[in-house]
Amino acid sequence: MKISLASKVLQDRSPEDVIDVASTLGFAGVEWFCLPQHLPPETSSKQAAALGARTRDAGLKTVCLSTYAGGFADLPDAECERQIGIFQQYVRIAEQFGCTLLRIWPDDMGRRLLGPVTEEHLERAAQYIRQAADRAAERGMRVAVEMHQTIGVDTGRVIRLLDLIDRPNAGVIYDPGNVYLARLPYAHETVRPLAGRIMHVQLKDAHLGLPTPAHLASEPALRYGGSFDLLTGEGEVDFRQVASALREAGYDGWCSVECHALPRPEMDSVAIAAAELASIRQCFELPAVEATASAEAP
């Protein structure tokens, strides 16, 4: 397995800093969270080309564009069509990075779809994700649904969704932290049925027994309480079991460090990224890597 850095860990840094820090610390790739400060949909081809070239020159692979396009199960038709347009913009951006995987959302990240998920919800989401998958396929790309509230967090439900989408280039982003926060089995019981359909992995720790911090009060993934403002090892996610489940399933793709811990007085975001890389390598029993230069941001 290969370890990439989710740009969200460095959300207080510029995209150029994300690239330079990831390379300096010894990450092998970058997962771009398409945040306004990093990769908004209006990013020009010139800007994307420059960032893509900088990423490649740093010896890094762009492993995923984690877009926020989607929400199809609980949005009106006009907005769904607009979201497909945004997704197409990210396909253009992904080409500049040489990236072949894009995240897409079946519902609005659990913000509105709170009740029972019906077959109608799944069919509506599948209708639009199928369109996105076809557009991605034209460029040799894939799409993936993140395991997150509401539709994607349940293994059986996401399998049903993928069956309805019925495209070989559509799969899932496995996020054990989100599944744990939904009070569901998150290791072997989740990975085994999804073997062959996991296209990417995001890793963050979480703890249901902790109070939810004020700045996370509206976070849909914390519907059942808890916190993920944590470093790996401060929560209850057993990453050794996660690693075991992935190996059993034959997964040999990318795993992104997606720590949500905010900078602390004793640790800035760069130090957090460095600590997380070491922790995940230890949990996954991967050899340590040495930083190539100072661990401070450029």
Domain membership flag for residue 293? no
Domain membership flag for residue 122? yes
Domain membership flag for residue 118? yes
Domain membership flag for residue 80? yes
Domain membership flag for residue 83? yes
The dihedral formed by the CA atoms of 97, 263, 147 and 40, expressed in degrees to the nearest 10: -40
Domain membership flag for residue 297? no
Domain membership flag for residue 289? no
DSSP letter for each residue of 47-108: HHHHHHHHHHHTT-EEEEEE---B-GGGS-HHHHHHHHHHHHHHHHHHHHHT--EEEEBSSS
Number of domains comprising the chain: 1
Residues whose CB is less than 8 angstroms from the CB of residue 161 and which lie 6 or more positions away in sequence, other chains included:
106, 122, 125, 126, 129, 145, 151, 152
Identity at 269, one-letter amino acid code? S
> Mind listing the pLDDT tens digit of every residue in the chain (298 residues)?
899 999 999 999 999 999 999 999 999 999 999 999 999 999 999 999 999 999 999 999 999 999 999 999 999 999 999 999 999 999 999 999 999 999 999 999 999 998 899 999 999 999 999 999 999 999 999 999 999 999 999 999 999 999 999 999 999 999 999 999 999 999 999 999 999 999 999 999 999 999 999 999 999 999 999 999 999 999 999 999 999 999 999 999 999 999 999 999 999 999 999 999 999 999 999 887 666 655 444 3
CATH number reported for the structural domain that contains residue 11 in this entry: 3.20.20.150
Q: Report the C-alpha gap between 36 and 288 in whole angstroms.
A: 33
Domain membership flag for residue 40? yes
Nearest to 103 by CA among 205, 231, 8, 215: 8
- What's the predicted TM-score (pTM) here? 0.95
Nearest to 75 by CA among 41, 102, 105: 105
Nearest to 191 by CA among 261, 107, 248: 248
For the chain, give the percent of residues with pLDDT over 90.
Answer: 94
Domain carrying residue 205: 2-283
Identity at 223, one-letter amino acid code? R
Q: What angle do CA 124, 129, 135 make, to 5 degrees?
A: 140
CA dist 277 to 29, 238, 293, Å? Answer: 12, 16, 15
H or E, element range at 154: none
